[in-house]
Amino acid sequence: MGTTDDEARGGRRRTLIVSAGMGAGHDTVAAELARRATARGHEAQVADVLRLLPYGLGTGLRRGYRVSVRHLPWVYAGVYGALLREGHGPRPGGVPLARLAGDRLTELVDRLDADAVVSVFHLAAQLTGHLRERGRLRVPSTVFLLDFAVHRQWLHPGNDRYLCLTDAAAARVRRAVGAPVVTTGPVVAPGFLGPAPGAERWRERFAARAPGRPPVLLSAGAWGAASRPAGTARLLASAGWLPVVLCGRDERLLARMTREPAALALGWVDDMPGLLAACYALVDNAAGQTAVQALATGLPVVGHRPLPGHGADGVRRMAELGLSALAPDAPALLAALDALREGGRTRTDRVARGRALFRHDAMESATHW
């Protein structure tokens, strides 16, 4: 009797994780999934689906998205409404674009001799579903759906399995595609789920900058996409908080916020567990990976001035699930922060709900068949 490929490798599995360099969130999750696979003695490689597209289309998509969310939010809101949000009647889909990367993806799967493919970006999910449905992808395809609000471009009936952050998202997927679904919760690096050694250094820095002012973190994502961050920082400072602004890799935003005397502006931060553990709350605009990391750390989240499209839907969905507060205006933001007093029931309940999301190991669920 012959041996299987898995037996020949001593039980090691090879997984291809398909991400996209849209900000940093998808790649952060992909890297953590790969780390978990390696820690278990398996092999994993991460590929960017945008790099698999021919004719420079991926680069164009990335640039267009970045410009729209930072400078032309109404444009992205229109694209999201037309292509991604649920609606009635015929709607454009992502398959025609995704299928352009089909040959390169199948060649990569063959070259790596992969046992499974895991998608962590919606265009990748369209691609793998299309290939599986037509028999061109020979190994199982799992989609790890990273959004709290499920939009239609994540959904393709050809995929074998879906992993979701919440039970509500899983129910939406089952209704749409009928695929097996597992609610795993989000994925973060281990440092976010345990004690944060760097927190004390951050606390000392905050105390030296603004004694007696609790630090409130404002996130603009990796690309520095935020609506009126200076105005929000001034509002927080006037109410007795220390606004700490995460500018990501946007040097212009960092320079602009550095000129705000009441704010502490930060560029790219390597010690996010320590920073989050040292803050009073996160003011979030995207319901993305920074918000997920805050939930893991036990830092309450307040949604305010969300990015258009999936950002607004995700922020709203987090609030509906009791994972955050939604503050549509300045008075609501201050009220939401005041309600999060240390030791109070609101803060205790919010922290407990956030930490309860982290149920299962998504990498194990993605590759265990």
Fold of 191-356: Rossmann fold (3.40.50)
**The pTM is what?**
0.92
Domain 191-356 in the same topology as domain 5-183:
yes
% of the chain exceeding 90 in pLDDT? 77
Q: Is pLDDT larger for residue 258 or for residue 65? A: 258
pLDDT for residue 1: 39
Q: With 80 as the cut, is the pLDDT of residue 74 above it? A: no
Neighbours of 204 (CB within 10 A): 11
pLDDT for residue 52: 95
Q: With 90 as the cut, is the pLDDT of residue 89 above it? A: no
pLDDT for residue 10: 59
pLDDT for residue 343: 86
Give residue 8's pLDDT band: very low, low, confident or very high (50, 70, 90): very low
Top-ranked range on mean pLDDT: pick from 5-14, 214-223, 235-244: 235-244
pLDDT for residue 2: 40
Mean per-residue pLDDT for 34-59? 94
Ordered by start, the domain boundaries in the chain are 5-183, 191-356
Q: Which of 6-15, 50-59, 111-120 has the lowest mean pLDDT?
A: 6-15
pLDDT for residue 45: 97
* CA pair distance 166, 186, nearest whole angstrom: 9
Give the tens place of pLDDT for each residue, 242-252. Answer: 999 999 999 99
CATH class name, domain 5-183 = alpha beta
Mean per-residue pLDDT for 204-218? 97
Token output for 5: 């490929």
% of the chain exceeding 70 in pLDDT? 92
Mean per-residue pLDDT for 232-255? 96
pLDDT for residue 83: 67
Mean per-residue pLDDT for 113-124? 96
Give the tens place of pLDDT for each residue, 140-149. Answer: 999 999 999 9
Give residue 330's pLDDT band: very low, low, confident or very high (50, 70, 90): very high
Give the tens place of pLDDT for each residue, 12-28. Answer: 899 999 999 988 899 99
Q: What single string gives the DSSP state of each residue in 207-269?
A: HHHSTT--EEEEE-TTTT--SSHHHHHHHHHHTT-EEEEE-TT-HHHHHHHHT-TT-EEE-S-
- CA-nearest of 127, 104, 195, 181 to 150 is 181
pLDDT for residue 367: 76
The mean pLDDT of the chain is: 91
Q: With 70 as the cut, is the pLDDT of residue 87 above it? A: no
Give residue 291's pLDDT band: very low, low, confident or very high (50, 70, 90): very high
Return the exposure string of 37-63: e unless at least 16 CB atoms fall within 10 Å of the residue's CB, then b: beeeebbbbbbbbbebbeeeebeebbe
pLDDT for residue 141: 97
